Amino acid sequence: MKPKLIIVLVLIVITPLAIVGWLGARIVQDEQVVLEHQLRELMLGQLRAVDTVLGWSLERYEQAVLDEMRPFSLDPEELRRRSRQSPYVSQYYVLDEQGQLLFPPVGTTDDVTASERESLRRTSQIWEGGVLAGTGRVAESSGGAAAATGWHVWYWGDGIQMMLWARNGERTHAAEVNRARLLADLIADLPETDVLAPELAEGRIRLADSAGRLLYQWGSFDAGEDAQPVATLAVGPPLGAWSLHYHTSASVFGSAVTGGFLLNLAAALAVLGAAVVGLSYYFYREQSREMKEAAQRVSFVNQVSHELKTPLTNIRMYAELLERDLDEPNERSRRDLGVIISESQRLSRLIGNVLSFSRKKREALELRRKPGVVDDLLRSVLDHFRPALDAKQIEVEFKSGSGESVSVDADAVEQIVGNLISNVEKYGAEGKRMEISSRCQGDTVEITVADRGPGLPARERQRIFEPFYRVSNALTDGVGGTGMGLAISRDLARLHGGDLELTASEQGAHFRVTLECPPVDGTP
């Protein structure tokens, strides 16, 4: 009983907690998805801000180059001087309206310097393809006339190369930028290690080139070399081949949720847990109080039974002595004495059973099968109860149907049936009628005891067989009993290869006893 109770209590505690926990986890999960989405948006926003910075930075670089380009010159010496001295540009070019190079002077090899030759080799694909006149934007020149400028990007060597061009009348002036310097200037405009929005302190932003090589990074989170970015953004043109990546630890997503939400959830779980535990504890205490009371009752019955044993033994002994010493055949006295003896014997068996039951030695219930006739046994029991039944004006109807001699424990049958009759007398008296029947079917003898009393509510039907269980209603108040009768009766019936059950009925309580009673051979 006790381990079962504990399991039940544990289940009572765990089940609601588990349900609430699961629901909480689901909510956390949903919250997580929403938060992750929000964080990702936030990160993309950061990357967009970085892209804007890169755009400004590039514009400044562009302006510096344009300032160097102007005033537009066609003088080779001046263009060489600029190519030689410019920190931003590695080589200047001038094209005529047909896209033919005017500077560096290609046709006349003598005048081309070694570095110019190298530059021409680097840019040959542009001049051959004639693609420099791509889309550009229109900017206001100092003269007020509209001059188109734009970037041309091409691949050479280990990455993108950039050329800024500006249209001046029919000619196009172009400046091949010093790529390393451009990158250095862009990097100089980007943040340092720790400059990130405080809510995203655990992040790292990386700038990568067209080949995915890391150009620069910042942020305090140390992402591994091959770490997957949480958000990625392509840099705006003309650096479209470059990309920005946001890295952050998985814990940022976790901690974003834990922040307030998990705390609340944990608090709710804790309150609920405490309530459930408190409730279970209350039930446990109630239950154990009942158990204690029951145990006290057992011990009381036990003691009382012990106390009763000795006087009962004396009664039996003197009654038997009296029976032996009774000389004249006084039939009436002899019959009365017989009742005394048999009742006192039954009482001592009852006491024995109570004692053995209370010692949790149900196995000690023993059957003493002897050839007997069930109907005779029933009649005998009815005789014993007749005075009591008469007193309560209960009319008895007995339908006998088991007249053969079978192997049966008479005491057990008497005890089971006596118990059932005594219940009728106690609880079903107002029906004023009791029906007893017996039936023999092969090895099985079936006995039913039915009354017309108030009966039992459906939910009580199983529980009445539990020891010490008494239907707690007004009806039973003031009615004595150990509360062990039906439990012992059912144990005895089961021991006898059958069962004791309460069958469904329209009115009153109908008990059915089945007993395994093989017929005794040779007996008519």
Partner 1 sequence: MRMKSTFQLCIRDALLFGLALQAIPATAARSVELDVQMSTPAVLTGTRQKAYVRIALTGLDVRRMRAPVNAAIVLDQSGSMSSRKIEEAKRAAIMAIDQLQEDDIVSVVTYQSTVDVLVPATKLYDREAIRRAIRGIRAGGKTALFGGVSKGARELDKFLDRNRVNTLLLLSDGLANVGPSSPGELAQLGESLGRQGISVTTIGLGLQYNEDLMTRLAMASDGNHFFVEDEGDLEAAFATEFGDVLSTVAQGVTIHIHFPKGVRPLRMVGREARISGQDVHASLNQLFRDQTRYLLLEVEVPAASAGKVQRVADVMVSYHDLMAGSQATLQGRASVTFTNSATTVEHRRNRDVMVAVASQIGVERNEVATALRDEGKIEESREAFRANSAYLNKEAEKLNDTRLKLDAVSNYEASENLDEKGWVRERKQQQELQYKTKNQRSSISKQKRD
**Nearest distance in Å: CB 63, partner 1:** 15
> Which of 160/487 has CB closer to partner 1?
160
**Nearest distance in Å: CB 86, partner 1:** 7
> Which of 80/510 has CB closer to partner 1?
80
**CA pair distance 221, 202, nearest whole angstrom:** 5
**Nearest distance in Å: CB 38, partner 1:** 26
Residue 505, φ and ψ in degrees, nearest 5: -150, 160
> Which of 108/135 has CB closer to partner 1?
108
**CA pair distance 84, 77, nearest whole angstrom:** 10
> Which of 190/396 has CB closer to partner 1?
190
**Nearest distance in Å: CB 78, partner 1:** 11
> Which of 224/260 has CB closer to partner 1?
224
> Which of 216/284 has CB closer to partner 1?
216
> Which of 221/511 has CB closer to partner 1?
221
The three-state DSSP-derived secondary structure of 377-443 is HHHHHHHHHHHHHHHCCCEEEEECCCCCEEEECHHHHHHHHHHHHHHHHHHCHHHCEEEEEEEEECC
List the interface residues with partner 1, window 207-266 (CB under 8 A).
214-219, 222
Q: Using the rule CB under 8 A, which residue among 84, 306, 359, 361 binds partner 1?
A: 84
| Interface stretch with partner 1, choices 38-46, 59-67, 112-120, 337-345 (CB under 8 A) | 112-120
Alpha carbon 343 to its chain's center: 61
> Which of 55/105 has CB closer to partner 1?
105
| Interface stretch with partner 1, choices 106-114, 332-340, 408-416, 422-430 (CB under 8 A) | 106-114
- The tokens of 371 are what? 């050839």
- How many residues of this chain interact with partner 1, rule: CB under 8 A? 38
- The tokens of 440 are what? 């023999």
> Which of 69/517 has CB closer to partner 1?
69
Look at the alpha carbons of 327, 328, 334, 336 in this order and tell me if their dihedral is positive or negative: negative
**Nearest distance in Å: CB 27, partner 1:** 37
Beta-sheet strands, E only, within 35-190? 89-95, 101-103, 137-140, 146-156, 159-168, 171-177
**Nearest distance in Å: CB 70, partner 1:** 19
415 touches partner 1 (CB under 8 A): no
> Which of 77/363 has CB closer to partner 1?
77
> Which of 95/389 has CB closer to partner 1?
95
List the interface residues with partner 1, window 29-68 (CB under 8 A).
none
Q: Using the rule CB under 8 A, which residue among 43, 61, 80, 119 binds partner 1?
A: 80
Residue written as token pair 């840019």: 123
**CA pair distance 326, 112, nearest whole angstrom:** 158
**Nearest distance in Å: CB 214, partner 1:** 6
- CB distance 359 to 299 below 8 Å: no
**Nearest distance in Å: CB 193, partner 1:** 4
List the interface residues with partner 1, window 273-312 (CB under 8 A).
none
Q: Which residues contact 180 (CB under 8 A, 6 or more apart)?
A: none
- CB distance 395 to 432 below 8 Å: yes
| Interface stretch with partner 1, choices 73-81, 379-387, 429-437, 443-451 (CB under 8 A) | 73-81
For residues 390-403, one letter each, b for 16 or more C-beta atoms within 10 angstroms of the residue's C-beta and e for the rest, the string is eeeebeeeeeeebe
List the interface residues with partner 1, window 140-199 (CB under 8 A).
158, 178-181, 183-185, 187-189, 192-194
SS3 105: coil
Q: CA dihedral defined by 325, 331, 334, 339, rounded to 10 degrees?
A: 180
**CA pair distance 370, 496, nearest whole angstrom:** 13
**CA pair distance 373, 196, nearest whole angstrom:** 100
Q: Using the rule CB under 8 A, which residue among 39, 43, 58, 86 binds partner 1?
A: 86
**Nearest distance in Å: CB 271, partner 1:** 45
Residue written as token pair 């070399």: 225
**CA pair distance 472, 450, nearest whole angstrom:** 21
List the interface residues with partner 1, window 502-521 (CB under 8 A).
none
Residues that bind partner 1 (CB under 8 A): 76-77, 80, 84-88, 90, 105, 108, 110-111, 113-115, 158, 178-181, 183-185, 187-189, 192-194, 204, 214-219, 222
